[in-house]
Amino acid sequence: MEHRFKYCPKTTSESFLVVALSRCLLSFDDAISKNDENNKIALPQFIKGETVIDMDLVEADQAFQQGRDRNRSMDLAFAVEDVDSSERCLVLVELKLNHIDVRRNLKQIELENKIAGSLLVLKNGIAIYPTFFFIFADDLIQQAINKLFRFYPDPAVRQTRKAETIQGLKKLFFDY
C-alpha cells in the first residue's frame, strides 16, 4: 500500500504554533544537530529547506505564559497532507539520537509522557497523525524496534508508536 501523506511546508510554516511563536520554526537539519550530541547523523540530510516546529520550545513558551512547570514533549512536529490535499495533520517526532544502549535507557513512561505533553499543547489545533515516531541512529534501530514491540504488546497501540531512522522518515514523508 502506498503511503499517501507527504510533507507540507506551507501548513508547517503557517501552523497556529508558528503564528503564535515564530522562533519555534527551524530547519530539520538544525533540529537534528540540536539533538545529536554524538554526531551520529551526517548533515545535511534535508537539502530542500524543510522546516519543522520545535515542540520543546513551544511547550516551554506555553508553560511560561501559563505560569506552570514544563511538561515533557516530543522534539518536533511537521505538517503533512494526503496526496489529494484534502486532509492535513501534524506528525510528532522524538529524536532519540543520543541513545547508546536502548535496552537499558529507553523507558516507556518517558515516551508516553512526551506524547501526552505534546497532545496537551496541540489539543485545539490541527489534527494529529495517528503514528508517533521515535527516531534512532541506524546502529540502534533494531534494538529500538524490539524494545517498542515489548513495550506495546497490544497491536492496536503498537501501530501508533514506531521506531524509525532519519532515512526511514524521509522515505515516508519527504520526496527523496
Secondary structure of the chain in the HEC alphabet? Answer: CCCCEEECHHHHHCCHHHHHCHHHEEEHHHHHHHCCCCCCCCCCCCCCCCEEEEHHHHHHHHHHHHCCCCCCCCCEEEEEEECCCCCEEEEEEEECCCCCCHHHHCCHHHHHHHHHHHHHHCCCCCCECCCEEEECCHHHHHHHHHHHHHHCCCHHHHCCEEEECHHHHHHHHCCC
In the predicted model, what is the mean pLDDT of residues 132-142? 96
Q: How many domains does the chain have?
A: 1
pLDDT digits over 3-58, tens only? 689 999 999 999 988 888 999 999 999 999 998 888 888 888 998 989 999 999 99
Q: State the residue range of the domain holding 126.
A: 5-173
Please compute Rg for the chain using Cα positions: 16
Among 33, 151, 50, 172, CA closest to 103 = 151
Stated pTM of the model: 0.94
**For residue 9, cis peptide bond before it (omega within 30 degrees of 0):** no
Q: Output the pLDDT for position 2.
A: 52
pLDDT band for position 1 (cuts 50, 70, 90) = very low
